[in-house]
Amino acid sequence: MSAVRGEFSSRFGFIMAAAGSAVGLGNIWGFPTQTASNGGAAFLIAYLVLAFFLAYPALMAELIIGRHGQANAVTSLKKISAHKWQKHFAFMVGFGGILCAGFILSFYAIVAGWMLSATLEPIASVVGLNQTATWLGEQSLIRNVLFTLIFIALTILIISRGVENGIEKWSKRLMPALLLILFALIAYVMTQDGAIEGLQAYLIPDFSSILDANLLVSALGQAFFSLSLGTSVMIIYGSYISKKENLVSLGAYVTLIDVFIAFVAGLLIIPAMYVAQAQGVEIFSATGELLSEDTLVFQVLPALFDGMGNAGLYIGFAFFALMSIAALTSSISMLEAPVSYTVERFSVKRLHATWLIGALIALVSVVIVCNLGSLFGLVITITTKIAQPLLGLMCCLFVGWIWYRSSLLKAIQQGNPSVHNTLFWKIWPWYTKFVCPCAIGLVFLHSLLS
Ligand code: PFF
């Protein structure tokens, strides 16, 4: 089986692909809006601490399981299981993660479809297709179905090309483009009235709220969603890393890039909110709460871009193109999880497996689009608030309690022979064994209770 498996051709390729999965709508929209509604800089500090001290160790657990198994999530988890019950548990966790990734893609594609249509809207305006521009800018069933399907088709096209020519090649192109557009937009927003006020809200912490339980739990949930944990995605990406690579530093790079882009996105979105407010758009309620969190991006930012005159059309295009790119590098990782399992488990051709699973996910997406009011929020809650933390917790249990410590050490020593003398090996094993499961359990409980 290993002879036909794909592998990332370079260190840079893996880092771009895994960071591409991690960086998505969660960082560029989710993180800034959560920051704005949870006390600004205090949330930022909590997020930074939790991302490095809790999400990074959990990410390492998933990457190591995958690299050791050199197979899809189910097979990789089974390889570290010694007893029959552990193998059943491995199937539950691996297959659960694969299902979770598929369902996340089914709602993610809808939001990404909105991003795509918002990218095309300014182009339609520039070329004088005003009716089309209005249609693209307004919520309608036909528009939503069409753009969801277009987005899924783009994801399928990349994944059907495999690891090196698909995931790696496109992540290497799209990720740097994303950073470039982000910095250009920040430079523009900083010249506008109100931007400095936004910057202060983002960067000057109010330490009195930093230990607020809600704030801590939201920051932890955001860190786990952002690093794509608990979906089997990082297990499968780990399985494509060569045994010559140092996993400890690769995982650290991915975490640093993910956190860095969330931080940079905050530098754009939070000042942009204050700029829009200075232009008369209502963003915060009288009591200081953020209004319409989910749809803010489609209300506030187009208003902001409109206020910029003709330049706003181009800036609006750049911004939504950026969101679409970020969504695409994440969605390809979500589709890879079920596709790799199907290819390896049922010996199906990659092309056939990709189209079959892509079509199934498209079907679920269309059902959700047609029942947006009742299903959209429900699927998001079940996948991101319940399944992700629970499955992430179980991966930590595998590494901490099921995998023999000596075999675990051997797996990490590949590509990093002196790891047993490092601080990482002194702390990480007990961290994944005790601290990570307890903390993720806390997030899970909170999601259930709220
Ligand atoms: N990490 C992505 C984001 O921040 O938008 C979302 C995501 C990707 C979640 C892949 C789950 C996943 F499997």
* DSSP per position, 288-326: SPBSSTTTHHHHHHHHHHHTTTHHHHHHHHHHHHHHHHH
Tell me what pLDDT residue 293 has. Answer: 65
Which residue has the least CA distance to atom 11 on ligand 1?
228
Length of the chain (residues): 450
Phi, psi for residue 290 in degrees, rounded to 5: -70, 130
CA 333–ligand 1 middle distance (angstroms)? 8
SS3 state at 271: helix
- How many structural domains does the chain have? 1
Atom of ligand 1 nearest to the CA of 27: 4
DSSP string, 106-174: HHHHHHHHHHHHHHHHHHHHHTT-HHHHHHHHS--HHHHHHHHHHHHHHHHHHHTTTIIIIIIHHHHHH
The answer, yes or no, to whether any atom of ligand 1 lies below 6 A from the CB of 236, is no
CA 183–ligand 1 middle distance (angstroms)? 22
Pair 110, 376: CB distance under 8 Å:
yes
Pair 215, 39: CB distance under 8 Å:
yes
Burial class (CB in 10 A: 0-12, 13-18, 19+), 413: middle
First to last CA, the chain: 45
The answer, yes or no, to whether any atom of ligand 1 lies below 6 A from the CB of 98, is no
d(CA 45, CA 205): 8
DSSP string, 199-220: HHHHHS--GGGTT-HHHHHHHH
The answer, yes or no, to whether any atom of ligand 1 lies below 6 A from the CB of 27, is yes
CA 440–ligand 1 middle distance (angstroms)? 17
Rounded to 5°, angle at Cα 378 from 377 and 382: 120
CA 127–ligand 1 middle distance (angstroms)? 34
Tell me what pLDDT residue 221 has. Answer: 77
The answer, yes or no, to whether any atom of ligand 1 lies below 6 A from the CB of 334, is yes
The answer, yes or no, to whether any atom of ligand 1 lies below 6 A from the CB of 22, is yes
The answer, yes or no, to whether any atom of ligand 1 lies below 6 A from the CB of 384, is no
Which residues, 6+ apart, have CB-to-CB distance to 374 below 8 Å?
none
Burial class (CB in 10 A: 0-12, 13-18, 19+), 127: exposed
DSSP string, 38-95: TTTHHHHHHHHHHIIIIIHHHHHHHHHHHHHHTS-HHHHHHHT--SHHHHHHHHHHHH
d(CA 87, CA 74): 9
Atom of ligand 1 nearest to the CA of 231: 13
CA 326–ligand 1 middle distance (angstroms)? 10
Tell me what pLDDT residue 400 has. Answer: 94
d(CA 158, CA 127): 29
Residue range 163-202, pLDDT digits in tens? 766 677 777 777 788 788 889 889 988 998 889 999 998 9
d(CA 265, CA 290): 17
Query: Distance from CA of residue 450 to its chain's centroid?
Result: 22
CA 194–ligand 1 middle distance (angstroms)? 31
Pair 63, 234: CB distance under 8 Å:
yes
CA 58–ligand 1 middle distance (angstroms)? 15
CA 369–ligand 1 middle distance (angstroms)? 20
d(CA 86, CA 83): 5
Q: How far is CA 306 from CA 132, 195, 266, 300, 302, in A?
A: 17, 17, 21, 10, 6
Q: Give the pair of three-digit tokens for residue 67.
A: 């690299």
Question: Which CATH number fits the domain that encloses residue 330?
Answer: 1.20.1740
The answer, yes or no, to whether any atom of ligand 1 lies below 6 A from the CB of 231, is yes
Q: Give the pair of three-digit tokens for residue 334.
A: 């979500």
| Residue among 186, 264, 175, 229 at smallest CA distance from 56 | 229
Low-confidence ranges of the chain (pLDDT < 70): 1-6, 162, 164-166, 292-296, 299-300, 443-444, 446-448, 450
Range of the domain at 102: 2-449
Q: Give the pair of three-digit tokens for residue 212.
A: 């607020």
Q: How far is CA 59 from CA 51, 69, 396, in A?
A: 10, 16, 9
Tell me what pLDDT residue 380 has. Answer: 86
The answer, yes or no, to whether any atom of ligand 1 lies below 6 A from the CB of 26, is yes
DSSP string, 369-394: HHTIIIIIHHHHIIIIIIIHHHHHHH
Q: Give, for 55, the enclosing helix (H) or strand (E).
A: none
| Residue among 44, 12, 52, 397 at smallest CA distance from 210 | 44
Rounded to 5°, angle at Cα 351 from 349 and 356: 95
Which residue has the least CA distance to atom 12 on ligand 1?
228
d(CA 55, CA 242): 23
